[in-house]
Chains A and B, each alone.
Chain A
Amino acid sequence: MLEHAWNETGPRFKAWLAALLLLIGVGGFCYSIQLGTGLGVTGMSRDVSWGLYIGQFTFFVGVAASAVMVVLPYYLHDVKVFGRITVVGEFLAVTAVIMCILFILVDLGMPSRLLNIMLYPSPGSVLFWDMVVLNGYFFLNLLTGWKVLEAEYTGIQAPDWVKPLIYIAIPWAFSIHTVTAFIYSGIPGRDFWLTALTAPKFLASAFATGPALLILISLALRRFTGFDAGQEAIRRLSIIVTYAMSITVFMIMAEFFTAFYSQVPSHMYALKYFFVGLYGGNSFVLISWIFAALCLLALILLLNPKTRGDEKWLTIACASTFIALAIEKGISFTVGGFITNPFGRVTEYWPTPIELGIVLGIWALGAFLLSLFYSLFVTVKRRSERGLV
């Protein structure tokens, strides 16, 4: 089925891929600089020892997990309208997991020793389990997504073993983001992370981010390829985004209450740092207010059924949701744990151009893979609908 997918793409698509390849090249070049000099080329420091890379990793684990928001209703609640896009979700998950693994890889000081995680398995380490569940999730989604699509291409039902794998992938999706949250929430002395709310908040924000992205992807697919996910599917997704975004914002507000009503300093530091600056450190103030404004905008547009039902407003709402949560989970949350440092001081962090170049390269790679997957998907759909199977 691959050959048809390639042959049916137009020059515009190929130019898009070429542009992405160029960005991947930029990322590769930046990474080669980092490999040569060490992580000293990043903005990270002994006080803020994780930055944009780990933040992006966290964010994309959420995107990967959120595929379950189309798979679960379809397979467990028989929501038929999602049938057309479960594969879209599964391929999004596969791509997101690849990006996650790359974000971890570029964050390592000794990438050549990556396999030590498997050579010296350490069941006490959450990072070890994260590696296990991420790899499992990758293969589950790749297999099921591929088999379901292949079944559609050949017109022959997918083999029996695919169904159980799909069912396993559902709780597995929850596990990947939970384990990722546990990386943060099980660490003594980082009071911003040390809350049982971290895992549920991660899941809630993932289930807002992912479906919001799926809506944007569906609208893009309809515009550029003619593949229509269907009004009803988009409407249902938008309701999921609305609930998940509301719960996310509620949980963030709950964090504020605990911190500021209790007045325990170490719980207030990070939140103060984000919104008003702390001890002269204020590099996150601007993006934090952008985050807050986008959350508010998204909520207003999503909660109002009129704007939610209107595609133009929905697009804005989904983009706001995605960007807001990309700020929160993609960088702020990670850095917040390091405010203050163990001596009660604030060390500022901001990514360097090289760091941004590497992240851009990985985003481009994600977009590249996703474009290939979706062009394959759309071609197969088109052929099966034309009765070419």
Chain B
Amino acid sequence: MKKPLNISRRTLIKATGAAALGIIPAGTLLVRAAGKPHPKALQAKSWAMVINAKLCPPGCRICQEACHKAHNVPNMPDPKQDVKWIWQESYNAAFPYETHPYPDQANEKRAYPILCNHCENPSCVRVCPTQATFQRPDGVVMMDYHRCIGCRFCMAACPYGARSFNFKDPRPHIPSVNQAYPTRTPGVVEKCNFCDERLAVGQMPVCVEACPTKAILFGDLSDPASSVRQALAANVTLQRKTKLGTRPKVFYIV
């Protein structure tokens, strides 16, 4: 025989409240699916990039074009609201704290590829209120476009101007959509992902492969034998805004 439920209003409200509190953080406890990396996936303890700017021919935009095509990065009509993953800046713009009025002539003409630094101590990750941007164990600073609420705190927190916001629908402004990669929805922030989608299936980043002068090296910073470590050992290199303590993982040979 069933007993009649004997719950006072107060108890019911309490129970409902408790249940609601239980549900709220449940999102974070969501059980992760059993998953496996692709057999060919490239793995590293700490991905890093070395860009030999000496090898960047003035006016060259091949890395930018290849990256933006591969990742469906739009050409927004208003440059103030444009979306960029990798692009070129002058030495003075890239290294504003390391300039003086009498630069060498070669450097003055050079264009430096600028992209997300995938910092070891990323301020964007620290400020994100939903962990939509986060740091993976291999050091890649990722964006979860399904979770981003578009508050743009990360854009304020990024000292490198590497983040773009989708102010309007990007789809109409993508010259030819790459079927293999998603576009973005208006209202989320995006940036370079160190070609996570390519690393996952055993390929090097697009910019590395596209560069005709092999100016971009990509490898494991924790492995002394890697191409990036060898390049760092053999050259004078700079990082952008080291005084901020973000510890970037993109190095420039100047």
Chains A and B touch each other in the complex, with CB atoms below 8 Å apart: yes
A183 x B153 contact (CB < 8 A): yes
**What's the nearest-Cβ distance from chain B to residue A346, in Å?**
12
Q: Is A224 an interface residue (CB 8 A)?
A: no
B149 x A189 contact (CB < 8 A): no
User: Chain B, 74-111, contact with A by CB distance < 8 Å: what is the 0/1 string?
Assistant: 00001011111000010011101000000000000000
Neighbouring B residues of A127 by C-beta, 8 Å? 127, 129, 151, 153
Neighbouring B residues of A124 by C-beta, 8 Å? 126-127
Q: Is B168 an interface residue (CB 8 A)?
A: yes
User: How far, in angstroms, from A53 to B251 measured CA to CA in the complex?
Assistant: 37
User: Chain A, 88-100, contact with B by CB distance < 8 Å: what is the 0/1 string?
Assistant: 0000000000000
B150 x A46 contact (CB < 8 A): no
A347 x B165 contact (CB < 8 A): no
Neighbouring A residues of B205 by C-beta, 8 Å? none
Q: Is B37 an interface residue (CB 8 A)?
A: no
B92 x A344 contact (CB < 8 A): yes
User: How far, in angstroms, from A255 to B166 measured CA to CA in the complex?
Assistant: 35
Q: Is B50 an interface residue (CB 8 A)?
A: no
* Stretch of B8-16, B155-163, B220-228, B230-238 lying at the A interface: B155-163
Beyond A122-B129, A188-B159, is A49–B187 a contact (Cβ under 8 Å)? no
Neighbouring B residues of A117 by C-beta, 8 Å? 129-130, 149
B151 x A108 contact (CB < 8 A): yes
A343 x B123 contact (CB < 8 A): no
Beyond A118-B24, A188-B157, is A343–B93 a contact (Cβ under 8 Å)? yes
Neighbouring B residues of A50 by C-beta, 8 Å? 152, 156
A38 x B25 contact (CB < 8 A): no
Main secondary structure of the interface of A (DSSP, over half): loop
User: How far, in angstroms, from A127 to B153 measured CA to CA in the complex?
Assistant: 8
Neighbouring B residues of A131 by C-beta, 8 Å? 129
Shortest Cβ distance from B243 into A: residue: A188
A37 x B129 contact (CB < 8 A): no
User: Chain B, 114-143, contact with A by CB distance < 8 Å: what is the 0/1 string?
Assistant: 000000000100111111100000000000
B25 x A121 contact (CB < 8 A): yes
Tell me which of B150, B160, B166 contacts A108 (CB under 8 A). Answer: B150
Taking residues whose C-beta sits less than 8 angstroms from the other chain, chain A's interface range is 35 or more
User: How far, in angstroms, from A126 to B126 measured CA to CA in the complex?
Assistant: 9
Q: Is A187 an interface residue (CB 8 A)?
A: yes
Tell me which of A39, A46, A122, A186 contacts B80 (CB under 8 A). Answer: A46
Tell me which of B93, B166, B245 contacts A345 (CB under 8 A). Answer: B93
User: How far, in angstroms, from A39 to B164 measured CA to CA in the complex?
Assistant: 13
Neighbouring B residues of A119 by C-beta, 8 Å? 24-28, 130
Shortest Cβ distance from B123 into A: residue: A188
A46 x B156 contact (CB < 8 A): no
Beyond A38-B168, A44-B167, A108-B149, is A120–B24 a contact (Cβ under 8 Å)? no
Among A49, A118, A186, A189, which residue has the most Cβ atoms of chain B within 10 A?
A49
Q: Is B18 an interface residue (CB 8 A)?
A: no
B123 x A187 contact (CB < 8 A): yes
User: How far, in angstroms, from A122 to B132 measured CA to CA in the complex?
Assistant: 10
Contacting B at CB under 8 A, from A102-141, are: 104, 107-111, 113-114, 116-122, 124-128, 131
Neighbouring A residues of B245 by C-beta, 8 Å? 188
Instruction: Count residues of B near A (Cβ-Cβ below 8 Å).
Output: 54
Q: Is A40 an interface residue (CB 8 A)?
A: yes
Q: Is A157 an interface residue (CB 8 A)?
A: no
**What's the nearest-Cβ distance from chain B to residue A356, in Å?**
18
**What's the nearest-Cβ distance from chain B to residue A381, in Å?**
33
B187 x A38 contact (CB < 8 A): yes
Beyond A342-B158, A342-B161, is A110–B28 a contact (Cβ under 8 Å)? no
**What's the nearest-Cβ distance from chain A to residue B73, in Å?**
13
Shortest Cβ distance from A124 into B: residue: B126
Beyond A109-B166, A113-B149, is A187–B156 a contact (Cβ under 8 Å)? yes
Shortest Cβ distance from A45 into B: residue: B80
Tell me which of B83, B128, B148, B169 contacts A38 (CB under 8 A). Answer: B169
Q: Is B192 an interface residue (CB 8 A)?
A: no
B147 x A120 contact (CB < 8 A): yes
Shortest Cβ distance from A345 into B: residue: B93
User: How far, in angstroms, from A75 to B130 measured CA to CA in the complex?
Assistant: 38
Q: Is B241 an interface residue (CB 8 A)?
A: yes
B161 x A47 contact (CB < 8 A): yes
User: How far, in angstroms, from A342 to B248 measured CA to CA in the complex?
Assistant: 15
Neighbouring B residues of A357 by C-beta, 8 Å? none
Q: Is B188 an interface residue (CB 8 A)?
A: yes
Q: Is A337 an interface residue (CB 8 A)?
A: yes
Shortest Cβ distance from B80 into A: residue: A45
Neighbouring A residues of B152 by C-beta, 8 Å? 49-50, 107, 109
Contacting A at CB under 8 A, from B187-234, are: 187-189
Q: Is A341 an interface residue (CB 8 A)?
A: yes
Shortest Cβ distance from A337 into B: residue: B156
B150 x A109 contact (CB < 8 A): yes
B188 x A110 contact (CB < 8 A): yes
Shortest Cβ distance from B97 into A: residue: A266
Q: Is B46 an interface residue (CB 8 A)?
A: no
Among B26, B92, B132, which residue has the most Cβ atoms of chain A within 10 A?
B132
Q: Is B186 an interface residue (CB 8 A)?
A: yes
Q: Is A267 an interface residue (CB 8 A)?
A: no
Q: Is A190 an interface residue (CB 8 A)?
A: yes
Neighbouring B residues of A183 by C-beta, 8 Å? 153
4 additional contacts, CB 8 Å, given A42-B167, A127-B151?
A46-B155, A120-B131, A122-B131, A344-B96
**What are 6 A-B interface contacts by the 8 Å CB criterion?**
A111-B149, A118-B24, A187-B127, A189-B244, A342-B161, A344-B96
A interface residues, Cβ below 8 angstroms from B: 37-40, 42, 44-47, 49-50, 104, 107-111, 113-114, 116-122, 124-128, 131, 183, 186-190, 337-338, 341-345, 347
Q: Top 3 nearest A-B pairs by Cβ distance?
A: A109-B150, A189-B159, A109-B187
